[in-house]
Amino acid sequence: ALEEANKEIARLETEKENLSKAIKKKEEVYEEFLRILLPSVKFTPQAIVEFMSLSPQEKRRFLKELQKLEEGMKLESLTSVPGVQKLKFGGGRIYAKKEGDKWVILGMLDTEQDKEKGRYIEYLKDRLL
C-alpha cells in the first residue's frame, strides 16, 4: 500500500510539474501577444495572470481600455498608493505606473464593487511597498 501511495505521489508530482509548464507557456504566449498589440505597455506577471482569468468578453473590454494608454490617455492617481494610477471604466479598473515612456500594468480588477476595490488596493500596496 505504501509503495502504491508513493507511485501515486510521484505520478501526481509529475503531472503538477507538466501543468505548471503548460501554464507558464500560456503566460508567455499572452505576454507576447499583449506586447505586440500594445508596444508601449508592459505587464507584470500578476497582471498577465489576471488578464488570462478574464472571460473573452472581458478581455475585449480590457483591451479596448488598454488601447487608450497607447493613445496617451491620462490616468487618475491612486491617492492611497504613491506612484500608482488607475484607469476607471464601466466594469473594472486597471492599475498602472509609468516607467520612462512605458506604462507598466500592475493589475486589473473586473468589478466596480467598493469592497473588492478596497481589497485589491490593499493587495497592491502589499505587493509594492
pLDDT at 129 over 80: no
Q: Please state the pTM of the whole predicted model.
A: 0.80
Q: How far apart are CA 60 and CA 126, in angstroms?
A: 29
Measure the CA angle with vertex 48, ends 46 and 49; round to 5°: 65
The arithmetic mean of pLDDT across residues 57-83, rounded, is 92
48-60 residue pLDDT tens? 999 999 999 999 9
Q: Does CATH number 3.40.50.1370 belong to domain 2-128?
A: no
What is the per-residue pLDDT across 21-47, written as a single tens digit (0 to 9) for each?
888 899 999 999 999 999 999 999 999
State the pairing for strand pair 85-89/92-99: antiparallel
Q: What is the pLDDT of residue 39?
A: 94
pLDDT in tens, 76-123: 998 888 899 999 998 899 999 999 989 999 999 998 888 888 899 888
pLDDT at 124 over 90: no
State residue 68's pLDDT score. Answer: 93
